[in-house]
Amino acid sequence: MRVDDEMLAAMRARARDLTGQLQRITDSMDGLQERIGQVSVTAVSRDGLVRATVGSDGKPRDLHLDPRIYHDADAAALARTILDTIEVAAAEARERVKEICQPYVDGDSFDSYASGDLTQVMERMRQRLPLTEE
């Protein structure tokens, strides 16, 4: 493949643009990890008897059970309520982290990273940066 002067100039311009973008992203990421780490979300169950707090990773940090939960001896229902409440808090925490990361990662990529679907992440990279000819 022969690269002519026009093509070379375009590639250099693109490299300058990418370098500038990378520098802007690097500069603006100061404190990003701290902001993400400060995310904390509390959800309350529909009946108000369960309160769960999760961190930015969606993992429970605190769980409060109102003493009135013992009036109903349905352990399975209580377990479902606890899990549902944690899931509501975790979903909100994920949305907050997504908002914080939005300037750096598009929503679809964020969702792929968060779900562990790295195949989708790699496919997006291939689409954006065609590094090899097929």
Residues 77 and 69 sit within 8 Å (Cβ to Cβ): no
Give the residue-averaged pLDDT of 2-9: 84
Res 129 pLDDT > 90: no
Which regions of the chain does DSSP assign to beta strands (E)? Answer: 40-44, 50-55, 60-65
Question: Partners of 52 in the beta sheet?
Answer: 43, 63
Residues 97 and 81 sit within 8 Å (Cβ to Cβ): no
Residue among 55, 26, 29 nearest 40 (CA): 55
**Does the pTM of the predicted model rise above 0.75?**
no
Question: 131 or 84: whose pLDDT is higher?
Answer: 84
Q: State pLDDT tens for residues 27-73.
A: 777 778 888 899 999 999 999 999 999 999 999 999 999 999 989 88
Q: State pLDDT tens for residues 86-109.
A: 999 999 999 999 888 887 777 777
3-class DSSP state of 48: coil
